[in-house]
Amino acid sequence: MTHSLADIERLTKEYAGPAEQIADLVAAMETEINTIKRAYIKKFQPLVGKAATAKASLITAVKESPTLFEKPRTYSFHGIKVGFQKQKGSIIILDQGKTIELIRKKLPEQEEPLIKEEYSLIKAALAKLSASDLKKIGVEVTADTDEVLIKSDRDKIEKFVDGLLNEKVAEELGEQP
């Protein structure tokens, strides 16, 4: 069934009303959330300062007393685990090109497991080829298609509205979300 532009405009108006109300509710909710965050941040600040000072003192005390943590290496006090833990070492490569060159020169028998060569296609360059050239190299081109666009002018709200509406719309259309 084909619809007139007037039908589309009317249906858009029917959608825009509830979508705008949802956007207004989201804005009000965000305002309340930010108010609550500000109130709690004031309560957190002194505690965070105390916790940071106490943690720094604890770290210093543990570092200065390594013999207390030989066996066992950790203890739990008041729900907090303290002590020492082995950290994995890491490899730092200062100049990848130079390291590859040195492996090829000094460890040529180990080049294959140590060096990975990667090749990848450049889609922007492929897009400049003719359809016949693309076919020769096994690249398919999909046809452009039109897709329905329903997008709010308010991008931030759109994601929230879409999340709320997609499942319900799919249900009404008899589709899987």
Q: What is the mean pLDDT of residues 143-148?
A: 70
Q: Are residues 92 and 36 in the same domain?
A: no
Q: Are residues 2 and 66 in the same domain?
A: yes
Nearest to 152 by CA among 162, 143, 144, 142: 162
**Candidate from 24-33, 82-91, 157-166 with smallest mean pLDDT:** 157-166
Going by pLDDT thresholds of 50, 70 and 90, the confidence category of residue 101 is: very high
Going by pLDDT thresholds of 50, 70 and 90, the confidence category of residue 104 is: very high
Q: Are residues 63 and 10 in the same domain?
A: yes
Domain enclosing residue 63, as ranges: 1-85
Q: Are residues 2 and 79 in the same domain?
A: yes
CA 103 – CA 115 distance, rounded (Å): 8
CA 100 – CA 107 distance, rounded (Å): 10
Q: Are residues 91 and 46 in the same domain?
A: no
The residue among 66, 85, 104 that closes a domain is 85
Domain count, the chain: 2
Residue 154 pLDDT > 70: no
- Domain membership flag for residue 95: yes
Q: What is the mean pLDDT of residues 40-50?
A: 85
Beta bridge partners of 74: 83
The residue among 96, 116, 136 that closes a domain is 116
- Domain membership flag for residue 35: yes
User: Which H helix or E strand runs over 75?
Assistant: strand 74-77
Going by pLDDT thresholds of 50, 70 and 90, the confidence category of residue 157 is: low
Q: Are residues 73 and 45 in the same domain?
A: yes
